[in-house]
Structure 1
Amino acid sequence: MTDDVWKRNEIASPCVKICVVHPDARICTGCYRSIEEIGGWSGMSDAERARVMDELPARKSSLTKRRGGRRARLNKT
């Protein structure tokens, strides 16, 4: 049974509960939103949320992943 009283008709947050901000891009590596977009999400209009959602797939490819972990850092000379 669902409670229709609490059902909201809005664009849901893209949050996937992996909240790590990329140090260079300043974008969450989980949902690809900026800190400003995350903080302002609840106050955005549907049009603003739709614009952000449309931009997210392109942001994913702009993030570079660090490879090698601790070993790679130690081997830098």
Structure 2
Amino acid sequence: MKSPCNDICTIDRSSRLCIGCGRSLSEIGEWGSASPGRQREILSLLPDRMRQLAAKAKR
């Protein structure tokens, strides 16, 4: 499965999530060895996280 990384690799200090893809550092680190099921699980979390990060950036 293709990584959700989009080369905007900056970690938000308060949420500790990447502002480019929404993953945590541990999720980024495990991606390459994660099972397809785990990758799908991570991907399912990202839309809400990205919305939260976008809302935070507007404040």
Fold similarity call, TM over 0.5: yes
Identity of aligned residues (%): 37
Corresponding position: 1:46 with 2:36: yes
Structure 1: runs of 5+ lacking an equivalent = 1-10, 68-77
Structure 2: distance between partners of 1:53 and 1:66: 24
The amino acid of 1:28's aligned partner reads C
Q: Which has the larger radius of gyration?
A: 1
> Where do 4+ consecutive residues of structure 1 move more than 4 Å?
none
Higher relative contact order (CA 8 A, sep 6+): 2
How far off is 1:61 after superposition?
Answer: 1.7
Between Structure 1 and Structure 2, the one with more helix by share is 2
Matches within 5 A, 1:1-77: 11-63=1-53, 64-65=56-57
Normalised by the size of structure 1, how large is the TM-score? 0.69
Let me know the Cα RMSD of the aligned residues. Answer: 1.2
Normalised by the size of structure 2, how large is the TM-score? 0.89
